[in-house]
Amino acid sequence: MARLGIMGGTFDPIHLGHLATAESVRESMNLEKIIFIPAANPPHKTEKKIASSNHRLKMVEFAIQSNPFFEVSTMEIDRQGLSYSLLTVEELHEKFERAELFFITGADAVNDLASWYHAFELLEKCHFIAATRGGSMLDWRSLEKFFGSLAREKIHEVQTPALEISSTDIRNRIANGRSIKYLVPDEVEKYIAREELC
């Protein structure tokens, strides 16, 4: 059965933290490929300036170009509206009928999993990879309380190299005219300069 990784996010912009994590999880979990899925612009978040989905998509395309195991999907952008992971996972199951899906995210997000849209159903339909560094960062007690035995079956911790990079910090650097070199791929840095994104 094909093992596919899913890397969802706003990617505003995509950075080396996302890429290093995806590559490290791909290798340690033996995944066939990783599909990057940029979220649609949230309809309610108009006050928080987010780069258009077209720009975010272009930056992901540039960033993954050199990795034959990485792909990008526009399914959430095309679907519009809120980017519920459950809908994305269901759509991927339809597309890749015999695939096992591994949703990659930071450990902090996995600790919040119970609050996600139809969380139990979601965990029934895919695995979650919590990227951690050092020891365990997962709150197994709460996870098991909510998800029961499904927690240990479907949630996996994977040690990844820790890169203290966030899109928020990159946007702040750009806004303040500071360098983002070595935080994002060169092509992404060039694209941001060319399109005057901030």
Q: What are the residues binding ligand ATP (CB under 6 A)?
A: 9-12, 17-18, 21, 105-106, 109, 131, 163, 165-168
Min CB(13)–ligand ATP separation in Å: 9
d(C-alpha 13, C-alpha 181), whole Å: 13
Q: How long, in residues, is the chain?
A: 198
Q: Measuring CA to CA, which residue among 60, 80, 48 is closest to residue 11?
A: 60
Min CB(180)–ligand ATP separation in Å: 12
Min CB(17)–ligand ATP separation in Å: 2
**CB closer to ligand ATP out of 56 and 151:** 56
Q: Which amino acid is at 193?
A: A
Min CB(117)–ligand ATP separation in Å: 16
